[in-house]
Amino acid sequence: MTFKERMLIALSGGKPDIVPIAPYFWGAEYRWKVVGVEIWELLYGNREMAFIGNDKLQERHPCDWINVHGFGSGWLDDKIVEKIDDRIFFIDKNGVKYEFLKDGHQIVRLDENQDYIPNTGIVSKDIKTKADVDKLWGRPRKPREKTKIEIAKDDWQRRLIDKYGDTVLMTAGGISPFVQACYALGFETSLIMMKENPEVFVYMTDRFFEDSLPHYEWVSACGYDAILIAESWASVDIISPKQYEDFAFPYQKKAIQAAQDQGLKAILYSTGYLMPILPKMCELGADALSIEEGRKGQPMDIGKVREIVGPKQCIFGNFDAENVLLKGNKDDIEREVKRQIDSAGRDGAFIMGTGSPVCDDTDPSSIDQFINFTRQYGVY
């Protein structure tokens, strides 16, 4: 059975030959070490870094999926790199200086006094009406016209799918329209708007959803099998269950349906404390639910998650990427792999995953042990 077949059976609620494994390697974290370049080179260097970054990781740690991430924006092409002590600076052709901040992987511009110029988004904009939202987009809302999709044969994603797509579940990335609206407004502003101006918040979320539709079409046309829809703020440690039902759930469901309409498997990855809303999340129709390992002060025990969602809803394991994979030893990893499988995966509909992304300083041998123990103890 191929990696891809194994994943597809689990995603359909079935029981493959062994438990599939699909940890989160998120962005450039850890990956840059496998590639053998500095993290800023992977992020902002030549576009070919995108292919290399995904290819090298799968070669080093063969998993049942590739959760594809893009790299190599080309931003560095006309920049001079300057290293001073442990700091990295970039200077463009006009003499403008930037610094790469290792904490957060941001690039910030420096003023003439070498102080940071804050990166600003749209949080400072005063959004009170639907017309304000339209101004933000720079155009009025109108019926969408389906665009023609053309994908070059040498596109790095197309080449990656050509190499692995027959045997590995190729998974693209997406984002929930709800959290897109929250990110755009900022944390406090979004919470206030949900309470005081819900119609405008919903209108803004609608616009983000409409703008996401071409992405699902492109992902399908490129040849992907699945899409991971990330959701960050739709948990009851941030919003109430009622707010979840009113503002987040409808757009999670729309996003999942839009992906499935394009023939994609839809995986929802949601962080935070979800236990009170898990029954509602089972109504989303997601091919799989993936949850955090309990980073917001409340436990997210995978066995209890299984009890709530039932035997046929596919779920990802929430193996602790920090306290076990990063900080634990071989015995800890083995013990947690067995616990996850025994409590949530013995009847299938289960994919071994990490509750949060693999940490930057994780020992490669620990990842190997995680994969190997899953293959060993996950036999059905």
CA 233/CA 277 separation, integer angstroms? 13
Contact between 2 and 167 under an 8 Å Cβ cutoff? The reply is: yes
Taking CA atoms, 225 is separated from 171, 179, 218, in Å, by 6, 24, 12
Backbone angles phi, psi at 335, to 5 degrees: -60, -45
Find all residues with CB under 8 Å of 43, minimum gap 6, and list them. Answer: 28, 71, 72, 73, 105
Q: What is the pLDDT of residue 219?
A: 97
Q: Is the pLDDT of residue 271 over 70?
A: yes
Q: What is the chain's alpha carbon radius of gyration, rounded to the nearest angstrom?
A: 21
- φ/ψ region of 177 (left if φ > 0, alpha if ψ in -120 to 50, else beta) reads alpha
Q: Is the pLDDT of residue 256 over 60?
A: yes
Q: What is the pLDDT of residue 103?
A: 81
Residues 6+ positions from 77 with CB-CB distance below 8 Å: 46
- The DSSP secondary structure of 292-313, one letter per residue, reads --S-SSS---HHHHHHHH-SSS
pLDDT in tens, 276-315: 999 999 999 999 999 999 887 788 999 999 999 999 999 9
The whole-number pLDDT of residue 295 equals 83
CA–CA distance, 28 with 41 (Å, rounded to integer): 10
3-state DSSP percent of the chain in helix, strand and coil, to 5:
45, 15, 40
pLDDT tens string 141-200: 888 777 788 888 889 999 999 999 999 999 999 999 999 999 999 999 999 999 999 999
What does the pLDDT read at residue 144? 79
Three-state SS for 238-276 is: CCCHHHHHHHHHHHHHHHHHHHHHCCCEEEEEECCCCHH
Q: Which helix (H) or strand (E) holds 87?
A: strand 87-91
CATH topology for 3-29+122-377? Answer: TIM Barrel (3.20.20)
Q: What confidence tens digit (pLDDT) does each residue in 127-153 have?
A: 899 999 998 888 888 887 777 888 888
d(CA 72, CA 38): 12
Percent of the chain with pLDDT over 70: 98
218 token code pair: 């492109």
